[in-house]
């Protein structure tokens, strides 16, 4: 099955809010934020059932998270991810001259990734911010 | 064994700054909290989770334990060598700490920015352009009969907002839910929208068009299209009628407006709508600030520098130009040569490229907890929690100033943000004086 286009929103969820106060290195936090709410019909179109992994890709990057049917009423073509390091993997730094990146209304493609793993937070940090390839300090 | 019940505790999570919490402590630990929302309860009962307990300095690939004085000296030396350091965060600490932060930024000749930059920065730009018809949350609680949440989902982001300050609160003149009308505008039917009397489902990235159409309807102009932003014109005209005919309207808005296409011009349109409504009735507007002291950061930075965020001291005097001097843009263009992050987690929250550039420069963090930012840092200072282990002044989302309480003593050896920042500033000045 191929991917489908959706508009991605990132934002707060109560689960994300509770879990970030509990601790960002915790399993509770990972479960609360490494996910993407997608309308049930859209999940079906890409061949994924509720709770299976999906890959979400924008022009800025790609990340694997759990695809879940929204707890709040959804509509087809809209996907929602709570704020987190998984969400910012696919966000762009262009602020349109305002200082504010575009964290909502992002054109995205979602596809099944049922055989792929969600990277735990510390591994994601290691992969994204590897100090071996970093350039420390400026001359 | 000492037990104490502390009343009227100010919560230090979101911009609601609820001040009616009741906290029970026993043997210098919080054991129970009443009147708090789920986020606040999680913080109050989990404030010792994943706690940083020792300063650390990176040696090779690993962060190793260090003494406090070594960490202060190393941090001051990094700042002394930097030509364009970025001092970022500030929204989860006290006004007293932010004041020291501004002094430090001026001393370093770098940049200072707070989380407004990726949150309600466009709101600040809009307010500077148009002006803000506003009031305190108490006025809304007591008087408002029409309440909007536009691009905001308080059930999830500010769980006690509706019961403390709006439709579910008991006001002096509006005593119950039946005396208020709730209108929610959002791209999806959120849990907040399910509570609305009127839910307006808008197409993504079309807020400016809908706000403009409502403005036209309020003015009495005819709208030529059949629908705007996915909303039928008849519905737009009904909304405008409700707004004109209310006695006291309040429009709360969130990041659905600031982060979607248009950004600050969406806010211009919302502020203009409310300003125009005041020629017909009483109407106010208020951004739903996300952190408990982001408004404090704006206030302190404004009274000290003239500007609320995205401040550039590199010319020796404060300059302000969001889009140029704002943190994400500075990092994306690789213009900073070091960074000090205070009470924030930009490695998690900034777009990837900006975050990667942040991780690639000497990075120092002051935080109570382990976060992705501390994991990427070169120097880490453990700090106390404002409003739990230390007092401090904060500004609620409506600008009301609150004094937080100290509930328990901090873990041994952990210092406050104020102390750490003062120590770094003092050491930096000494290094500079000694050449």
Q: Which CATH number does the domain housing residue B136 bear?
A: 3.40.228.10
Residue A137 has pLDDT above 50, yes or no: no
Nearest CB to A88 within list B14, B331, B350: B350
Q: Do B353 and B208 share a domain, yes or no?
A: no
Residue A135, pLDDT above cutoff 70: no
Of B55, B113, B93, B181, nearest in space to B327 by CA: B113
Model confidence over B259-286: pLDDT tens digits?
Answer: 989 999 999 999 999 999 999 999 999 9
Domain count, chain B: 2
- Whether the pLDDT of residue B52 is over 50: the answer is yes
Residue A114 lies in a domain: yes
**Is B251 inside a domain boundary?**
yes
Instruction: Please say whether the beta carbons of B364 and B104 come within 8 A.
Output: no
- Above 70 in pLDDT, residue A134? no
The closest CB to that of B259, out of A93, A102, A128, belongs to A102
Both B67 and B161 in one domain: the answer is: no
- Residue A107 sits at the chain B interface (C-beta within 8 Å): no
**Is residue B308 predicted with pLDDT exceeding 70?**
yes
A101/B155 CB distance under 8 A: no
Minimum distance, in Å, between the CA of residue A51 and any CA atom of chain B: 20
Kindly list the residues from chain A whose CB atom is less than 8 angstroms away from the CB atom of residue B353: 60, 92-93
User: Per-residue confidence at A130, pLDDT binned at 50, 70, 90?
Assistant: confident
CB contact under 8 A, B351 and A22: no
Contact flag A9-B205 (C-beta cutoff 8 Å): no
Q: In chain B, what percentage of residues exceed pLDDT 90?
A: 98
Chain A contact present for B354, CB below 8 A: yes
Whether B338 and B378 share a structural domain:
yes
| Position B41 in a domain | no
* Whether the predicted pLDDT of A139 surpasses 70: no
Evaluate whether residue A76 is within a structural domain. Answer: yes
- Please, is B302 exposed, middle or buried when counting C-beta atoms within 10 Å of its C-beta (0-12, 13-18, 19+)? middle
Range of the domain at A90: 4-128
Choosing from B269, B287, B305, the residue where a domain stops is: B287
Same domain, B203 and B79: no
Tell me whether residue B39 is in a domain. no
CA–CA separation, B341 and B345 (whole Å): 8
Together in a domain, B126 and B199: yes
Q: Is residue A97 part of a domain?
A: yes
Q: What is residue A131's predicted lDDT score, i.e. its pLDDT?
A: 61
Residue B333 sits in a domain whose CATH number is 3.40.50.740
pTM: 0.95
- Residue A2 is predicted with a pLDDT of 82
Is the pLDDT confidence value at A136 over 70?
A: no
List CB contacts of B317: < 8 A, sequence separation 6 or more. Answer: none
**Is B40 a domain residue?**
no
Collapsed DSSP state (helix, strand, coil) of residue B376: coil
For the segment B4-49, what is each residue's pLDDT rounded down to a tens digit?
999 999 999 999 999 999 999 999 999 999 999 999 999 999 999 9
CATH of the domain at A95: 2.40.40.20
Q: Which domain holds residue B84?
A: 51-118+292-386+411-434
The verdict on residue B27 lying in a domain is no
Q: Three-state SS across B56-86?
A: EEEECCEEEECCHHHHHHHHHHHHHHCCCEE
Specify whether B262 is located in the same domain as B153.
Answer: yes
Same domain, B182 and B310: no
Q: How many CA atoms lie within 13 A of B140 on its CB side?
A: 28
pLDDT value for A1: 61
Interchain contact, A22 vs B42, CB within 8 Å: yes
User: How many structural domains are present in chain A?
Assistant: 1
Q: Provide the pLDDT for residue A72.
A: 83
Mean pLDDT of B219-243: 96
Q: Of the candidates B240, B267, B287, which is a domain's last residue?
A: B287
In a domain, B26, yes or no: no
Highest mean pLDDT (candidates A25-29, A74-78, B245-249): B245-249
The ipTM is: 0.93
Contact assignment for A17 to B362 by CB distance below 8 Å? no
- What is the average pLDDT score of chain B? 97
Assess if residue B8 is contained within a domain: no
Averaged over B355-369, what is the pLDDT?
A: 97
In a domain, B200, yes or no: yes
Q: Are residues B228 and B310 in the same domain?
A: no
Which of the listed residues B226, B259, B287 is the one where a domain comes to its end? Answer: B287
- Do B50 and A26 make contact, defined as CB atoms within 8 angstroms? yes
CB-CB neighbors (< 8 A) of A83 in chain B = 348-349
pLDDT tens digits, one per residue of B412-432: 999 999 999 999 999 999 999
């Amino acid at each position: 099955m191929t991917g489908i286009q959706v508009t991605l929103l990132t934002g707060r969820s109560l689960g994300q809010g509770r879990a970030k106060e509990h601790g960002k290195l915790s399993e509770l936090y990972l479960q609360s934020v490494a996910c993407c709410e997608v309308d049930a019909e859209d999940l079906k179109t890409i061949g994924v059932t509720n709770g299976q992994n999906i890959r979400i890709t924008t022009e800025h990057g790609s990340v694997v998270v759990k695809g879940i049917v929204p707890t709040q009423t959804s509509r087809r073509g809209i996907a929602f991810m709570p704020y987190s390091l998984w969400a910012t993997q696919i966000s762009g730094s262009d602020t349109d001259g305002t200082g504010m990146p575009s964290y909502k209304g992002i054109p995205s493609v979602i596809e099944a990734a049922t055989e792929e793993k969600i990277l735990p937070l510390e591994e994601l940090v290691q992969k994204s911010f590897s100090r071996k390839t970093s350039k420390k300090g400026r001359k | 064994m000492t037990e104490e019940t502390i009343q009227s505790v100010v919560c230090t999570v979101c911009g609601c700054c609820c001040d009616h919490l009741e906290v029970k402590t026993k043997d210098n630990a919080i054991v129970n909290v009443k009147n708090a929302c789920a986020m606040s309860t999680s913080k109050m009962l989990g404030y010792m989770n994943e706690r940083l307990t020792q300063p650390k300095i990176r040696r090779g690939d690993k962060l190793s334990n260090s003494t406090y004085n070594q960490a202060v000296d190393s941090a001051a030396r990094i700042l002394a060598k930097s030509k364009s350091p970025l001092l970022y965060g500030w929204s989860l600490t006290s006004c007293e700490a932010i004041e020291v932060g501004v002094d430090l930024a001026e001393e370093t000749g770098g940049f200072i920015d707070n989380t407004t930059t990726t949150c309600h920065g466009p709101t600040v730009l809009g307010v500077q352009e148009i002006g803000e018809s506003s009031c305190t949350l108490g006025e809304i609680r007591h008087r408002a009969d029409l309440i909007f949440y536009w691009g905001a989902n308080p059930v999830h982001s500010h769980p006690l907002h509706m019961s403390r300050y709006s439709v579910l609160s008991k006001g002096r003149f509006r005593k119950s839910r039946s005396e208020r009308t709730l209108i929610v505008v959002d791209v999806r039917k959120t849990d907040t929208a399910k509570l609305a009397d009127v839910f307006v489902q808008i197409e993504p990235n079309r807020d400016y068009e809908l706000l403009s159409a409502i403005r036209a309807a309020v003015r009495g102009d005819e709208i030529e299209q059949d629908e705007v932003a996915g909303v039928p014109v008849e519905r737009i005209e009904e909304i405008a009628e409700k707004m004109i005919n209310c006695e006291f309207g309040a429009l709360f808005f969130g990041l659905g407006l600031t982060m979607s296409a248009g950004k600050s011009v969406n806010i211009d349109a919302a502020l203009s709508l409310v300003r125009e409504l005041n020629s017909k009735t009483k109407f106010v507007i208020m951004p739903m600030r996300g952190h408990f002291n982001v408004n404090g950061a704006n206030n302190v930075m404004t009274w000290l520098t003239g500007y609320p965020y995205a401040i550039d001291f590199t010319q020796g005097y404060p300059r302000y130009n969001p889009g140029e001097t704002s943190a994400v843009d500075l990092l994306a263009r690789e213009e900073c040569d070091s960074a000090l992050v205070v009470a924030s987690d930009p490695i998690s929250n900034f777009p990837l490229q900006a975050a990667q550039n942040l991780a690639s420069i000497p990075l120092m963090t002051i935080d109570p907890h382990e976060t992705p930012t501390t994991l990427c840092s070169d120097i880490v200072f453990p700090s106390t929690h404002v409003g739990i282990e230390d007092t401090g002044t904060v500004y609620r989302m409506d600008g009301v100033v609150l004094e937080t309480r100290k509930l328990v003593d901090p873990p041994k050896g952990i210092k406050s943000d104020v102390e750490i920042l003062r120590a770094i500033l003092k050491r930096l000045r000494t290094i500079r004086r000694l050449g």
